[in-house]
Amino acid sequence: MEKQFAPLHTRAESYEIGKTLRHEMPRRSNGEWRSGKDRLDPVMILEQQGKSRIQNLLPIRYARMRVSPLAFLRGAAAVMASDLGETPAAGLRVQSCGDCHLANFGSYATPEAIPVFDINDFDETAPAPFEWDLKRLSTSLVLAGREVGLRARECRELASVMAQSYAKEIEGLAQLTPFQAWNSRIDLLKIIGDMAGHRARDKLRVRLSRQLDSISHQFGMIEPGKMPRLRERPPLVQRLPEHDAAVREAFKHYVDQLPPERRIILQRYRLQDVIFKVVGVGSVGTFCALGLYSTADGEPVILQIKEAQASVLEAYVGKVHTANHGERVVTGQRIMQAASDAFLGWTRSMHSVSSHRLYDPSNAGHHFYVRQTKDTRLAAIGEQIENEILPFYAALCGKTLGRAHARSANLPMLAGYLGRGRGFSDAIASFGVLYADQTERDWKHFNDAITEGRLKAA
């Protein structure tokens, strides 16, 4: 039986449908945030999430979240997902990043060695209301502005600039054919070249040059020698011999299930070394390992295998129907990124990885995805950036998010709802300020929980 698809509308028809949604869900309502009496305790949400993670790594996670309200926000995607589930939405769904903050954007080289800028983390990806990514990104920009000492008006303006840039990108892409919109990408060199102010532009060019240079040196992760070997940096990067065989088996299954045109390349390499790595802020406590492959001539490539758990969004948007959560992450990344890693893949559960407090042995299902290790992300600029570049970075993130959402959105309908974006961007900025205040309150409550011994931070 032929599958039934939604009826096709012309661009003009879709645009008008989007405009009617403004009456059903006014754009100004996106600026609202109130903490209700029945709001869940954010510490309780983190405690519940921690039950599925490696217990002896949780103190590292909490220590990283303790640094600042922005660091807390980065680790508290589950908390914000719970709150976003209570906010109004227009009913326009896209493939969502799910953990959209300024540090989850980055630069990397395509297979043609062209530097592009894109979203770089998809652990929480799921179909969801388009507003959710914007609200989380808006909050992170306000908090980043506060960290570098910007005035309240300037912090709010960062969020507004981001949302306006998003709306402008959606408006432009809505004029293209679906194929043209799908194939658009952010040309990082051109974007930097268009920056005003030669001093800031030159700094970004120097940083990008260093990133590209780090690719050929495998980012300093390999010990020098006749045959390559991964470099340990205990306690966050080290070998776990008791889990070596299980990780190697998982990598083997990953290679076996690759499409033939990709598998043929990796068959010219052999897995030489495996090392365990603690990653990120929100991901701390999930299993992650690096696999060093090399040719017979010692030419290396590093793959990362990372555990994928249920998206924090699924409790509020419904379960994502994929074979496992590794497939969910890979599918979401391929939809949202303009140039995805050709070696993205997922692999089966590693049941033997269950001893030494890594996992509950009774838990039979752990899901993983595999990707090439990336270069140091340009996103670091968003955390340690000079005030003069932060507005540029905010606009770049907004443009990039618009391009990513465009690949799954009904573009004319979304453009019809957004309009010129001025009222919408003002509302998103208002939300960012209100939720940044909420995050600061949650962060203080989180720190109190550590002081009282409810949570342990390393």
Average pLDDT over residues 376-382: 44
Q: Which residue has the tokens 């510490």?
A: 43
Residue 353: pLDDT above 70? no
Residue 267: pLDDT above 70? yes
Lowest-confidence pick of 45-49, 144-148, 278-282, 414-418 = 278-282
Residue 19: pLDDT above 70? yes
Residue 355: pLDDT above 70? no
The pLDDT value recorded for residue 387 is 66
Predicted confidence band of residue 388 (pLDDT cuts 50, 70, 90): confident
The pLDDT value recorded for residue 245 is 86
Question: What is the b/e burial string over 248-274, where b = at least 16 CB atoms within 10 angstroms of the residue's CB?
Answer: ebbbebbbeebeeeeeeebeebebebb
The pLDDT value recorded for residue 108 is 76
Strands (DSSP E) contained in 313-436 are: 345-347, 367-372
pLDDT in tens, 47-95: 999 998 888 889 999 999 999 999 999 999 999 999 999 999 999 999 9
Predicted confidence band of residue 265 (pLDDT cuts 50, 70, 90): very high
Q: How far is CA 284 from the centre of its chain?
A: 14
> Averaging pLDDT over each range in 183-192, 262-271, 341-350, 361-370, which range is the top one?
262-271
Question: What is the b/e burial string over 91-102, where b = at least 16 CB atoms within 10 angstroms of the residue's CB?
Answer: ebbbbbbbbbbb
Average pLDDT over residues 37-52: 95
The pLDDT value recorded for residue 199 is 73
Predicted confidence band of residue 357 (pLDDT cuts 50, 70, 90): very low
User: Residue 233, Cβ neighbours under 10 Å: how many?
Assistant: 12
Residue 354: pLDDT above 80? no
Residue 356: pLDDT above 90? no
Please tell me whether residue 369 adopts helix, strand or coil conformation.
strand
Q: Considering Cα of 45, then 47, then 48, then 54, what sign does the dihedral take? A: positive
Average pLDDT over residues 112-137: 91
pLDDT in tens, 334-343: 999 998 888 8
Q: What angle do CA 385, 105, 44 make, to 5 degrees?
A: 95
Average pLDDT over residues 402-419: 97
Q: Is pTM, for the whole model, over 0.85?
A: yes
Rounded Cα distance between 356 and 55, Å, is 10
Which burial class, exposed, middle or buried, applies to 89 when counting CB atoms under 10 A from its CB (0-12, 13-18, 19+)?
middle
The pLDDT value recorded for residue 414 is 98
Q: In the chain, what is the greatest distance between 2 CA atoms, to the nearest angstrom?
A: 68
Residue 378: pLDDT above 60? no
User: Residue 419, Cβ neighbours under 10 Å: how many?
Assistant: 16
Rounded Cα distance between 78 and 366, Å, is 19
Average pLDDT over residues 288-306: 90
- Contact predicate 182/440, CB 8 Å: no
The pLDDT value recorded for residue 411 is 97
Mean pLDDT rounded to a whole number for the chain: 87
Residue 364: pLDDT above 70? no
Q: Considering Cα of 332, then 443, then 27, then 137, what sign does the dihedral take? A: negative
The pLDDT value recorded for residue 279 is 78
